[in-house]
Structure 1
Amino acid sequence: MHVPDGFINAPVSVAAGAVAVGAVAVSLRGARRELDERTAPLAGLVAAFIFAVQMLNFPVAAGTSGHLLGGALAAILVGPYTAVLCVSVVLLMQGLLFADGGLTALGVNITVMACVTTVVAYAIFRGLAKVLPRGRRSVTAAAFTAALVSVPAAAAAFTLLYAVGGTTDVPLGKVATAMIGVHVLIGIGEAAITALTVGAVIAVRPDLVHGARGLTAPLKLRVGGELVDAPATPAPAAAAAGSHRKLWAAGLVTSLTLAGFVSFYASTNPDGLEKVAHDKGFDKGEKEHDAADSPLADYGVKDITNARLSGGLAGVIGVGVTVVAGSAVFWAVRRRRDGDGTESGPASTATDDVTAVTATAATSTTSATSVTKPAENA
């Protein structure tokens, strides 16, 4: 669903950029409470994994493909604030290095793919977690549902932006029906990937899954005929650190394998937004990407004629750059938290998380709209 340059006009792109800046600013502050010495490296890995899986377009229907957006997955694994940063890092790397998603549309893409998916998914996930029985299956089921809904929600957000600032004259009803319809199908793939990944991490290190904290049922012992919670027996620090390193290494190898090898077998059909834009005719406003001459444009290495080698090498480079950039951001956030004395631990409740990001986004939109309206009148 990467929006290229030219689909949305300049005033609305500026407004979306203001929303994105506000959301990222709030997320940088909120991520201090979510990240600690264990989860900060995981956040960088999550960003790299999202980059890798986004290269794996899967067929949907009628010559259309889809790919992971990643907001739900990141929010459940590392927290909603950190998730916005994870997806934003991925979008920035894709736009600058691979000419995927317009540079003037970067604010639109962050707003739609990072902010909307994260806020919607995490709100649904936490709501379901409160009513479902505590346990791994419930966490996985909540993750599936949250991811499923987040994708058509992002499609609806794009449709709203197009209604306000679309550069071509296409009936809004047709755009909305096509966008939301195809992205409901894509959402099924997103939900499956999210649930499988969350379930796999919970199986080996449930303590590292932000969304699973406090949700898994404790071990029970029968004392005097009654079941009571067993006393906590934390693993030795050395064992926990070793397990963490193994998980990180396994995740990195998986990301490199997906991007470097499996991506060659990804569907070549246009994704949901590309297909709808072509069918409905609003791709006529698309502009050439400013980074179209990048050595890695279109996920291939320039001057390497072997398609398999070119695409695989580009994927490996992308994973490497993303994990380094993401880890640097999250390391800096963690250092800032340590420096200002912020205590590590779970972030605030889901309601506070969603309210804070949404309030900032709303404020930013209002401010940006007040700036862009005179330009429109002029």
Structure 2
Amino acid sequence: MPGTRAGSPLLARPAVRRTFACALVGRSAYGVLPLCFLFTVRQATGSFPAATLAAAVLGLATLALPVQARVLDRWGQRRVLPLVTTTWVVLLAAAVLLSAAGTSRPAVWCVLALALGVTAPALGPSMRAQWRWFAEDVAQRRAAYAVDSVGEESLYLMGPIVASVVLATGPARWGLVLVAALAATGTVGLVASPAAVARAEEPGPLLGLGPVRRPGMPRLLVSMGPFGAGTALVYTGVAAAADRLGHPGWAGVVEAGIAAGSVAGGLLWARLRRPPRVSLLLVGLAGLLALAAALPFAAAGVALALGGIAFAPTYVSAYQAADALTPPSEHTEASTLVNTASNLATAIGTALAGSLVAGGVSPYAVAAVLIVAAAATSNLGA
């Protein structure tokens, strides 16, 4: 544990500020990548279905991140992250060269997408592992996770904007060059941190179930499923409603409002001495979603923005619960599993949303039911 004054604000420490800033730079790559990769494949193949297939493979392949997290727990960030990031940068360079050469075979792009997804550096879990090293007590760790979630939410708001600028000014493959530069910068900053030396004193086995076998972890991961699917339905429902009104750009305004609500919720959560149980926030979110299903677009957008207050605190509490349920040797993998469970459910929820919209069913109403299920299965405290 670092020898700093207990209770001092984390971001008042130069090493923490520098590390977090570098981590944000690196993690911003994941906000820029999806659109730039999609349109890189689209421009190379001339086929939008081929591009969406490759993008789907990329997204699903990132579900392998818990494996990388286990290796990080075992051998430490300074050994693992540079190797993984270098591999990823090389693959991104290959994508740029293939695009420039006009490679049009969808199978080639799907294989490359699979490789990119499997080797994506786990910068978010690595930063959370460093927060655990920097934070001296439970309250500081909650504040750290809240700041981290707010930063990540902001990145996913800004990433598509940056990607849009790239797409408007040149070929999409230049966005992949930017992604590589961002990830490399973030990795350098993370491994230069004093916290990067930390790794498990007694690492668990390389094979096996890992954190999943710990009492309480299956329930935590199960509760993140309906939460992830519900939030996916919200975002897809917003896009469908805006498209139905003939103003697709309005979706971005509402999504920005939801992100702003999440940022506000994360900041408030960090300041509370005794936060309420997350299940209460989820019940409130479900009520707002049910209300949004009955409101016109603008009013529904306000309800959704208020509901966004529950987003960041849910992840903060999930990370804290994962820490509490697992030994230090499994913390990085456990927090990664939280994201993996949510991301897998998000993919399922997005696919489900298309059928709901086609059938005239409100995605918000179904999302409300899923969020209630998340509240009922949740074992999240403060």
TM-score scaled by structure 2? 0.29
TM-score scaled by structure 1? 0.29
**Greater RCO structure (CA 8 Å; 6+ sep):** 1
